[in-house]
Amino acid sequence: MENSGNFAFDDFGKRDGMTPGKVADVFTNAAGTYDEVWASRNYRDHIYIAEGMADYFQADVRDSVRILDAAAGTGMLAEQLWARGFSQIDGLDPSTGMMTEAMKKGVYTDYYLEFMDGHTIKQLVTDSYNGLVAAAAFNTGLLPCAALLEMARLVKPGGLICFGVPDARFTDVKEYNNRLEPLMQRIEQDGLWKLLDKKHYDDFYDDANPGNVFRYIVCASDVNVKQYV
């Protein structure tokens, strides 16, 4: 547990320059203790995101809301969504180990072994979902900036995209430095989505590590990835 846990959760810099396949292997090796490690660190990002979805969708429609959980991992966020009345949830993650652990919980309808990097995921058609969530997904070697465009493609206009980003990631992660937030703003300027709100929390994990949960309402389905990346 110690080696895989430290490697996967603490020493983010070791993932810099890894191929997506190698990153997936890191998380596969840590999958068996993933929930335990995050529970010990009082992880809360997934709770805040689930609350954000529940605030947007009324209780009487939640059981029919289709949601994609990007970088789904072991299903910790999906469990929180189920607790709030959502049950039509698909997972997407490149790690076979994470999928194995997640499917034991019975919280996903389907689980796609894919890395969301901006390419069109062929199994998923445009406007497949009413909502999309991503928790603990923005870090070194995880979702790149271009993932935002695939998110927008997959959610129907009027649907909600909700994800959390710790404050430090915008500058500490090379992929995001001077790129992630400007892209978020440009997508809004181009009319693909509209920022509903940005809520700040002081304790994403370790009772510290402040960050924001962003909620975007999708406005359009026509996403030309080439003009952004």
pTM for the model: 0.93
Task: Give every residue of the chain whose pLDDT is below 70, as ranges.
Answer: 1-13, 229
Instruction: Identify the pLDDT of residue 135.
Output: 97
Instruction: Identify the pLDDT of residue 118.
Output: 84
Q: For 74-107, what is each residue's pLDDT tens digit?
A: 999 999 999 999 999 999 999 999 999 999 999 9
Task: State whether CATH 1.25.40.80 applies to domain 2-227.
Answer: no
Q: For 167-177, what is each residue's pLDDT tens digit?
A: 999 999 999 99
Q: Angle formed by the axes of helices 45-56 and 76-83, to 10°? A: 40
Instruction: Identify the pLDDT of residue 228.
Output: 74
HEC per residue, the chain: CHHHHHHHHHCHHHHCCCCHHHHHHHHHHHHHHHHHHHHHCCCCHHHHHHHHHHHHCCHHHHHHCEEEEECCCCCHHHHHHHHCCCCEEEEECCCHHHHHHHHCCCCCCCEECCCCCCCCCCCCCCCCEEEEEECCCCCCCCCCCCHHHHHHHHEEEEEEEEEEEECCHHHHCCCCCCCHHHHHHHHHHCCCEEEEEEEEECCCECCECCEEEEEEEECCCCCCHHHCC
